[in-house]
Amino acid sequence: MRLDDRITIERLPRSHEDEPPKSQILVDGVPTGKHVAGAVLEGAVQWNSFRVLFTTDDVPFEDQLTIVLLDRDLQELDSARIGGPYSTGTFSSLTLIEPDTIQFRFIGDTVWSVRLLSRPQRRIPFLSEPPGVHRRFGFSRHFVVSGDPKPERS
Amino acid sequence: MSESDDRTAFESAIQALEAELANAGVHVTIDAGAREAYVRQVRAMAAELRAQVARGELTWAQAASQAQETRNAIMNAIRGRSTPVGRAIAQRLKSEGKTLNELIARKTIQLFGPNAQFTQLPSSAQNRVYAEIVKSAAKANPEVTTTMRRLSRAGRGLLVVSIAISAYSVATAEDKAQVAVRELAVTGAGIAGGVAGGALAGLACGPGAPVCVTVGAFVGGALAAFGVDLFF
């Protein structure tokens, strides 16, 4: 597992202001035609033949983090979003822990962990994720997100 | 239990269901309305700051600083306008926002490359950085806004169903006036009970506990609806 500095992203034009941002993935500066959600690449990690990208939406006052796992052909295998309405986060402290875990900070005053799985694992929609982690409806996952986010004190 | 008792129990259950549909619909509609207000207000705030800079009343640096302060104030005001459930969802994650200096550093890199340093930029370029911060302050997360719009439609749908059931109950009743008063009272109590139940659950569970607050809103709505229904 290592940081992947060959990957960059280039924001795609949006048809209207309320459309979630998307970007094209570039490898060594060469456009690949593959797209990923988000506008700013916060970090990229290579794990075996897989790549994990961390992107944010460039909405500094209400940012959400997208975690995307890609296969060797840059096809999306799994993704998750961290964040919530009227809250924001700042991506920092990216740490790689062999053999399969990535840690970082973003929101909720916690260290988030992403444990990568070499093959998909079962999950229960809505129940298998910590607060603030959103995934598309489905019953499998290719990585496990964990963290102990704290609530905002009013 | 007589047939009449069965019918009364059935009608009470239908009344409570109607009240809960209205309760959920009103909650979602209020929170979706708050979201639309938020989107409008942050855009208006940024537009006003840009206009003030254009009129020479503010520098770009002052506008960027004000954008950050005003943005946080709008966020807090909108949380206050949300339902207890909406507020609990908004408070579920402790924010880790960027300071003005962090925003400046980030925008400098985005605009002028990874090696750029804000302090070494000419003042016109520095103003571009500040202007980008003001522009950023006008943005609401589109993913959240889109989700709220979808929920808003669902909320309006629930309200329509609740009103349709009420209209059917009144239209098929022998004493239309009495049933109309009952529908209004029970549904109103369900909505008010839902908001009160959510607020009480929020106090009991603390901030950022949306599941607890949602259960409180549901139970509060049901208890209030059943309670008022007993008077009829």
Domain presence at residue B39: yes
Q: Which of B99, B119, B142 is the last residue of a domain?
A: B142
From the number of C-beta atoms within 10 Å of its C-beta (0-12, 13-18, 19+), residue B220 rates as buried
Which of B87, B102, B141 lies nearest to residue A57, judging by beta carbons? B141
Q: Which of B87, B110, B142 is the last residue of a domain?
A: B142
Q: Say what the pLDDT of residue B32 is.
A: 93
pLDDT tens, position by position, B11-38: 778 778 888 899 999 999 999 999 999 9
Q: Say what the pLDDT of residue A78 is.
A: 95
Domain presence at residue B147: no
Q: Say what the pLDDT of residue B131 is.
A: 95
Same-domain pairing of B126 and B160: no
Q: Say what the pLDDT of residue B14 is.
A: 79
The answer to ipTM > 0.95 is: no
Q: Which of B87, B112, B142 is the last residue of a domain?
A: B142
Same-domain pairing of B25 and B42: no
Pairs of CB atoms within 8 A across A/B: 124
Q: Say what the pLDDT of residue A141 is.
A: 94
A89: chain B residues, CB-CB within 8 Å:
93, 95-97
Same-domain pairing of B185 and B197: yes
Same-domain pairing of B135 and B96: yes
pLDDT mean for each 10 residues of chain A (154 residues): 94 85 95 95 95 95 96 95 94 95 96 94 88 92 95 77
From the number of C-beta atoms within 10 Å of its C-beta (0-12, 13-18, 19+), residue A153 rates as exposed
Is A59 touching B (CB cutoff 8 A)? yes
Domain presence at residue B93: yes
Q: Say what the pLDDT of residue B206 is.
A: 82
Single pTM value for the model: 0.87
Same-domain pairing of B138 and B93: yes
Chain B's closest residue to A64, CA to CA, is B141
Domain presence at residue B148: no
Same-domain pairing of B179 and B218: yes
Same-domain pairing of B185 and B138: no
User: Which residues span the domain enclosing B135?
Assistant: 33-142
Is A23 touching B (CB cutoff 8 A)? no
Q: How many CB atoms lie within 10 A of CB B24?
A: 23
Same-domain pairing of B86 and B57: yes
pLDDT mean for each 10 residues of chain B (232 residues): 73 81 91 93 94 95 92 87 91 90 93 92 95 92 91 90 87 85 88 91 86 91 84 76
Q: How many CB atoms lie within 10 A of CB A133?
A: 20
Which of A19, A58, A154 lies nearest to residue B91, judging by beta carbons? A154
